[in-house]
Structure 1
Amino acid sequence: MKKLYIECKSGISGDMTVAALLDLGADKEILQNVLNTIPLKNFKTEIRRVQKNGIDVCDFNVILEEDNHDHDMNYLYGHEHEEHHHQSENHPHHHHHHSDEKHHHEHRGLTEIKEIIANTKMTENAKKLALSIFTILAEAESKAHNKPINEVHFHEVGAVDSIVDIISIAVCFDNLNINDVIVPELYEGTGTVRCQHGILPVPVPAVCNIVSAYNLPLKFLPDKGEFITPTGAAFIASVKTSLKLPEKFTIQKIGMGAGKRNYERPNLLRIFLIETEDKNTTEELYKLETNIDDCTGESLGFVMEELLINNALDVHYIPCFMKKNRPAWLLTILCEEKDVQNLEQIVFKNTTTIGIRKTKIARTKLTRKKISVQTEFGSVEAKQVVLPDGTVRNYPEYESVSSICRNKNVSFWDVYNKAINM
C-alpha cells in the first residue's frame, strides 16, 4: 500500500508544499491548466530548480504584478525578508495568468474564497481539499480575533498568492491520488515575528489554534523565527491520517520543496512516497459513542447525514435501554483523529446529548483500490480488495449498479453478479 510521509524538520509553508508535491511527481501541466482558470488577475507562477546547502530541490513561486502580497514568510516578516532567488537555478518556467475579473485590493473572507473555488476548473476532490484548508484557516483566524467565521477577512487567506498556493496544493495532492498521509511531528522555531497585526509570539495564534484543534504534535527548534505558516499547518490538518511510520517500508520516491530563507541546515520540506509490504494495514481510529433517549427519528437521520458528509468513516445506531427503563439509541461513530473535534461539535449541536465517550481503537484494513469493471451492461465502478491469502475480490458500488439498472431496465442482481465475476 502506498502512503505519503511528510517530514517537516524545517517547518512547512504553502509554497514549500507545492514544490515538494511537484518534485514528487504531480503533473505540472494539469496544475497550470487549473491555474489558468482561477478568476483572479495579474499573477504568474514560477517553477524551477534551486540549491539548498548543495542539495538540488524544486522551488515554487507566485509572482504578483500588483502589490497584494501576503505570501508565506512575507505574511509574517514583511518584504525585508524576501529572497529574489539569486541562487543556482535551471531556467525557471514562468506562466502568466490574466483573468478578466476585476482585481480586488481588499482582503477576502471565506465567502469570497468559496466563490473562487467554485469558479476554478479542478476536480471535485481538489475543490474539497482546497475548501477544507481555507475553512481550517478561517476557523483559526476566527478564534484568534474572536469574530464569527464569516466576518473574518484575513491576510493569509485573502491575498492572491496565498489563494494560488492553496489551490495549487489541492490540485497537486489530488493528482498524486494517495490518501494515507503520515506526519509524526511538526518543527517550529521560537521568539517573535512582526506581521500585519504587530509583533506576535511564535507559533503565531493561527498556527497555535490549528495544532491545538487537530492534535498535531509540535517540536521546537533552537532557531529563532517562524517555521510553520498557517497555510502549512492547515494542509497537514486536512490530510494527516496517521502519526506513526510503519515498522517496515520501502521508499519509492522523494519530493523536496525549497524554503525561502537559508539556515545552517537545509531549509526544505521532504515528502516521501513509501510502500508497505503488508497485505493488510492496522490503523488507529477513534470511536465516539453517546446514548440518546429524547431525539426524534428525523433529527437522528439528519445527524447521521451530517457526520458522514464531514468525514466520519462509519455511523450507526443501536437500540438500547437506559436508566428508568427508557428505550434509547446508542450512536457510534468511527473517525480519524483529525476529525474528532468537528464531529463532536456536530453531535452536540444537533442532538440533546450532554456527553460523548471517546476511545482510541485499532482497525485492520485490507488493501483495496477503486476499479472499473467492464460488463455486457456497461462499466461498473467497484472496490477491489486483496484478502490475506492473496485472493482478489470485487465489491460493486451501489450507485454505479443502480444507475445501470435504471438506464438498461435490468435487475440489480444481474448487474451486481456480472461485476463480481468479471
Structure 2
Amino acid sequence: MKALIFNPFSGAAGDMILGCTLDLGADRQYVRELIEASVDVSVDIREVKKKGIKALDVRIGVPEKEKVRKYPELIDIIKSAKLPSRVEVSALDIFAKMADAEAAVHGYSDLADLHFHEVGQSDALADVIGSSAAIHALGCDAVYCTPINVGSGTVESAHGTLPVPAPATLEILRNGKLFFRGGNVKKELLTPTGAAVLSHFAKPLETFPQGRVIAIGYGAGDADLPGPNVLQGILSEPDSCLIQDTIEVLETNADDVSGEVLGNLFEELLAMGARDVAVIPATMKKGRPAHVIKVICKPEDSSKLARKIITETGSLGIRVMPSRHRLIAARQIELIRIDVAGEEFEVAVKVARDSEGVLLNISAEFEDCKQVARKSGTPVKEVMRRAEEVAWKLFS
C-alpha cells in the first residue's frame, strides 16, 4: 500500500499542489502536455528555493485579459478537453465543490447563474486539471491531509475585503471535513482552489501515521513569507498494511437509567450509524451503581448520536474524544453454503484482509448461524466452526 500525505504547514493553493505532486515523481512532461492541450495556457516548471528548501515552482502563463466565466462554461471546457476519465471526474467534482460553496455563501439557487471570478480563470483550470492528473499518476491507494494552516487577517477579492479564511474556502473546508488552524501570518494561505483539491482527494489526519517514507516533495507558493512558503507532500508505505480510518469516541456516565432503556439505546445507536457501542458497569461517587456509555462513530455522525444519547438517558453532556485515526482491516461479507445434519444452509461470513489482499481473519455471522442451529438442532458453536472452516478453504 502506498499513501500520499499532504502537510500544508504553510497553506495550499492549486499551483502548490501541482508543484508538490510533480516533485514527488508524477510525469512532468505528461502533465504539462495534458494541461496545455486542455486550456489555452503555457506551463513553466522550475526549481526554486524557499527559505533554503528546494521546491518546484509551477507558473501558468495565461492571456493578459480574460472574461469572468460562469460555472457551466467551466464544465464545458473540462468536458471538451477529452481528459482521461479519472482526471475528468476529479476536475468536475473539484469545481462542483467550489460552485456549491460559492452558491451557499452568496445565496445562489441556480448554479447556471454563478459567476466564477478568481477561480474561473485559465490558471485555476490548469491547476485543477494538472493536480488531478498528477495525483492519479502517482498511483496511491490513499490520500491524507494534516491540519491546514489557513493564515489570518483579511484578503481582497472581487467581492471586497473578506476575512481569512474566505467564506467560500471555509465552506469547502466544512463540507470536506478537513482540519485547519489559523496562523501568525497575516495573509491568505489557503485558496478556494487548494481547499477544493484537497477536499476531493484527501481524508483528514491529525498526526502522521506510522510508515516508511518513500519520497518527499515540495511545491512552492508565490509569496515570500517569514517561513518557507511550500506545500510538503510525502509518499509513505504504512508499516502495517492496514487501512487508515478516522473516528471519534463519544462517552458519558449514566447512573439513573434502566437496563431496558440502555438495551434500546444500544440498538438505536447502531441503527443510526454508530460503528460500535459499549455499555460498561461502573461505580460512581457515594458508591452509586452506574454505566459508562461509549460509542465509536464517524466524525460526521457525532452530533446526531450525542443528541440521541442525551434524549434517551437524560445526560447533560457527552464527552467527545479528539478525532483520531485507527488502523482497520478491509472487510467483506461473503455468502457460503454449509451442510449441517444432512441439510444445506446459506451462511454469511465476514472476510478481513489487509490492503495488499492478505487474508487476516474469517468470522461467521452469528445471527445466520443461530437460525441454522435452531432449524438443525445443532449447537450454534458447531455451526460457526463449520462455516468458518469452509470459508477458510474457499478464500485462503
Does the TM-score normalized on the shorter chain lie above 0.5? yes
What is the CA-CA distance between 1:175 and the residue it aligns to?
A: 0.7
Equivalent in 210, 224, 228 of residue 266 of structure 1: 228
Q: Deviations over 1:78-108 (max 9, x none)?
A: xxxxxxxxxxxxxxxxxxxxxxxxxxx2x22
| 1:65 corresponds to 2:100 | no
- Matches of 1:172 and 1:52 in 2, distance apart? 22
Contact 1:182–1:245, Cα closer than 8 Å, also in 2:
no
Q: Which residue of 1 aligns with 2:47?
A: 49
Contact 1:18–1:257, Cα closer than 8 Å, also in 2:
yes
Contact 1:47–1:61, Cα closer than 8 Å, also in 2:
yes
The one-letter code matched in structure 2 to 1:124 is S
| 1:11 corresponds to 2:11 | yes
Contact 1:367–1:385, Cα closer than 8 Å, also in 2:
no
Q: Which residue of 2 aligns with 1:188?
A: 150
Contact 2:178–2:203, Cα closer than 8 Å, also in 1:
no
Q: Which residue of 1 aligns with 2:125?
A: 163
- The DSSP-based 3-state class of the residue aligned with 1:272 is strand
- Matches of 1:274 and 1:114 in 2, distance apart? 34
Matched residue count: 280
| 1:386 corresponds to 2:358 | yes
Q: Which residue of 1 aligns with 2:315?
A: none
Q: Which has the larger radius of gyration?
A: 2
Q: Which residue of 1 aligns with 2:329?
A: 365
Equivalent in 140, 145, 158 of residue 101 of structure 2: 140
Q: Deviations over 1:7-58 (max 9, x none)?
A: 11110001111000000011112112312321x43x2111001111122110
The one-letter code matched in structure 2 to 1:16 is M
What is the CA-CA distance between 1:249 and the residue it aligns to?
A: 1.1
Q: Deviations over 1:245-273 (max 9, x none)?
A: 45521111111010101112111000000
Equivalent in 131, 136, 151 of residue 113 of structure 2: 151
What is the CA-CA distance between 1:150 and the residue it aligns to?
A: 2.6
Change (3 A) 1:282 1:154: closer
Equivalence map 1:61-100=2 (5 Å): 61-68=59-66
What is the CA-CA distance between 1:236 and the residue it aligns to?
A: 1.3
- The DSSP-based 3-state class of the residue aligned with 1:385 is coil
- Matches of 2:8 and 2:34 in 1, distance apart? 27
The one-letter code matched in structure 1 to 2:191 is T
Length-normalised TM-score, structure 2:
0.64
- Matches of 1:29 and 1:195 in 2, distance apart? 33
Change (3 A) 1:338 1:180: farther
Equivalent in 173, 193, 200 of residue 231 of structure 1: 193
Contact 1:182–1:244, Cα closer than 8 Å, also in 2:
no
Alignment root-mean-square deviation, CA = 3.3
Change (3 A) 1:367 1:275: farther
What is the CA-CA distance between 1:65 and the residue it aligns to?
A: 3.1
Length-normalised TM-score, structure 1:
0.60
Change (3 A) 1:258 1:367: farther
- Matches of 1:156 and 1:266 in 2, distance apart? 25
Contact 2:71–2:116, Cα closer than 8 Å, also in 1:
no
Equivalent in 224, 230, 240 of residue 278 of structure 1: 240
Change (3 A) 1:260 1:384: closer
Equivalence map 1:17-416=2 (5 Å): 17-38=17-38, 40-41=39-40, 43-68=41-66, 105=67, 107-148=68-109, 149-245=111-207, 247-284=209-246, 364-366=328-330, 385-388=357-360
Change (3 A) 1:282 1:263: closer
What is the CA-CA distance between 1:198 and the residue it aligns to?
A: 1.2
Structure 2: gaps (5+ residues): 249-270, 276-296, 303-322, 333-354, 362-393
Q: Which residue of 2 aligns with 1:297?
A: none
What is the CA-CA distance between 1:242 and the residue it aligns to?
A: 3.8
Change (3 A) 1:112 1:47: same
What is the CA-CA distance between 1:213 and the residue it aligns to?
A: 2.1
The one-letter code matched in structure 2 to 1:139 is D
Structure 1: gaps (5+ residues): 69-104, 287-329, 342-359, 369-382, 390-419
Q: Which residue of 1 aligns with 2:285?
A: none
The one-letter code matched in structure 1 to 2:242 is N
